[in-house]
Structures are given as C-alpha cells and as structure tokens.
Structure 1
Amino acid sequence: MANIKFEIKETIGTVSEGAKGWKKELNLVSWNGREPKYDLRDWSPEHEKMGKGLTLSEEELIQLKELLNQLDL
C-alpha cells in the first residue's frame, strides 16, 4: 500500500468517541501536500491510524449543511 501523507491543519470538532479512544472528528486536512479539505473520519488517539472517511470540498460541505438543515431532527 502506498504511503499516504497527511497534515491536520485545523481540528473543527469531535462527533463521537468509541470505547477504545478512537474519535470521529471533523478536521481540515491536507492529503499528500494538496489543498486542505474538510474530512470526517475515525482517528486513533494519537492520530497515527485512521479509519475510512469522507473528504469534502468547501462547496460540498456547504451543500451538505443545507441538506442537514432541511431535516426535521
């Protein structure tokens, strides 16, 4: 597997935390030196390991916010 480089530019917040300390976080992440994007995924306590996640541009995040605002929660 290729080595993926990442840098968490900004931690926006934690959505949940599992029993083993892994946290589902929304962060602004630069992947392989590219422009940072919004990223929602599980991270190990020291951010050494990660789970599968979802990466969104700012435009996609705005659209998702609009969709979520329409939900009756």
Structure 2
Amino acid sequence: MVISKKTIIQSFALMIMISIVMSTTEAKAIGNPAMRTDEPKGCPPGSPPGCKMQPANPYKPGCEASQKCRGG
C-alpha cells in the first residue's frame, strides 16, 4: 500500500489550514444560568434584592405518638 505524494501534500496543507483556523478563533465559555452566583435562585424578575424563596419541600417532622399514625 503506497501513499502518493499528492495525498501527502494535501494532508499536510489541510493540517496547516486547520491549525491556522484554530489559532485565530477565540474560545467562548458556555454559560449556565443556573450556576450564576450573583443572582439569588428562584426569585422572580424584578423582585427586591435579597429575596428568599421558601424551599419546595419544607421539613415536616413525623407524627406524634399520641396520634397513633404509625400503627403504634
């Protein structure tokens, strides 16, 4: 299996073009709005600064022994 000179030259030219394009483009960070630390999470737009939303599932302790809700 022999590689022709034309194929080698074309491959080399392609690698040079790709390296030039890669060196001239600027990388931009992909942002994720959920990871922003400067904005409180869960506050509607236009809410006052420092608003605090209630948790979606607040803690509720188990029932009392006097209620007998656990078969006790």
Structure-1-length-normalised TM-score? 0.17
**Higher helix share goes to which structure?**
2
- The structure with the largest alpha-carbon Rg is 2
Structure-2-length-normalised TM-score? 0.17
Structure scoring higher RCO (CA < 8 A, sep ≥ 6) equals: 1
**Higher strand share goes to which structure?**
1
